[in-house]
Amino acid sequence: MTASGSRSREALRAAQLYYLQHLTMEAIAQEMRVSRSSVSRLLAYARDSGLVEIQVHSPQEARSQLELRIAERYGITAHVVPSPARASEADRLKRTARTAAHRVAAAVGDRSTIGVAWGATMSAVARHLPSKTVHETRVVQMNGAANVRTTGVSYAAELLGGFGNAFAASVYQFSVPAIFDNPDTRRALWRERSVSRVLELQASSDLYVFGLGSRIGDPRSRIYSGGYLDRDDLQELVRAGVVGDCGTVFYRSDGSTDGVALNERSSGPSLDTVRRIPHRLCVVSGAAKRDSLRGALSARIITELVVDEELARLVVEAGG
């Protein structure tokens, strides 16, 4: 790489950390192992050379090589969030959520209907959402959060409230079990007018914001740690070859869901319903979610992806 190319690469990284991650110059200097004055010069170079306008742009049409490879392979828009090699999973999630929050704000406009699936990643995104003045915007919960331990109402209300407060939006909760005991109960409840009204709002969403559940039984994933599934459920998912879930709808590595019996009891939207939503923004971080992300990409439920750098690299290297 030429000296000019190396300087552009360093300037791009500094700009991403400063403008997208909102790190201080001191923190950037420590991460890049340079002086504060060097960071200041890199940021000035980024502005003067056109890397930074209102947003941060990289070469090759404002995409890093990882972003470009993901975009070309899967036909989506990708945003790869930089992080130090030794960053903790909590730090990777925070950085990813912060970037995703700004992508959500950019996508929301007047009369938007925003579908939100609950989970640890979405809770992190909600905490970082910037305020934006829009009108007649609605936020709808896409899957139930209740189980035998909790109604899930307070948890869902806090998460959805973050989105509602950021955009002064009307909030619609979906106060049903995450996973029903009996599929017949689910079908009967879906015929109730109060429930069908929320289902109609879900189907009319123009933006769906969601994370992905990781490998079966991973305690870091709320669906597995929160008492939503019993041992028989977990064994059933293993037998079905499940690698992850989107809104408590489970899928295999090839993105298929047929024959996964648990989905008949799930309150989440089917992947066919998800694919009909125009803008589907997936937020995901952590190496443990490699197979889950690959499955979601194969299922074509993502149109825009915000992903941490390590996970993006693992997915690209795995191919598919």
Alpha carbons 147 and 290: distance in angstroms, whole number = 27
- Cβ-contact 117, 210 below 8 angstroms: yes
Q: Are 137 and 170 in contact (CB under 8 A)?
A: yes
Mean pLDDT of 270-291: 96
Q: Compute the mean pLDDT over every residue in the chain, rounded to the nearest whole number.
A: 90
pLDDT exceeds 70 at position 252 = yes
User: 267 and 123 share a domain?
Assistant: yes
Residue-wise pLDDT for 139-182, tens only, equals: 999 999 887 676 666 778 899 999 999 999 999 999 999 999 99
pLDDT at 320: 59
Which CATH number is 151's domain given?
3.40.50.1360
Verify that 135 and 281 share a domain, yes or no. yes
User: Of 190, 168, 172, which is closest to residue 269 (Cα–Cα)?
Assistant: 190
Contact between 140 and 117 under an 8 Å Cβ cutoff? The reply is no
Q: What is the pLDDT of residues 79-109, one digit of tens each?
A: 999 888 788 989 999 999 999 999 999 999 9
If asked whether residues 156 and 261 sit together in one domain, one would say yes
Are residues 206 and 117 both part of a single domain? yes
Q: How far is CA 85 from CA 19, 76, 97, in A?
A: 20, 26, 18
Burial class (CB in 10 A: 0-12, 13-18, 19+), 75: exposed
**How far, in Å, CA of 137 to CA of 133, rounded?**
10
* Count of domains for the chain: 2
Domain that includes residue 175, residue range = 63-318
Condensed to tens digits (0 to 9), the pLDDT of residues 28-68 reads: 999 999 999 999 999 999 888 888 874 545 544 434 789 99
The domain that holds 29 is classified in CATH as 1.10.10.60
Task: Verify that 189 and 265 share a domain, yes or no.
Answer: yes
Residues 29, 103, single domain; the answer is no
Q: Are 20 and 126 contained in the same domain?
A: no
Distance CA 185, CA 197 (A): 18
Closest Cα partner for 46 from 66, 65, 18, 22?
A: 18
Same domain, 154 and 264: yes
98 and 199 belong to one structural domain: yes
End residue of a domain, out of 60, 83, 99? 60
Output the pLDDT for position 54.
46
CA 53 to chain centre: 25
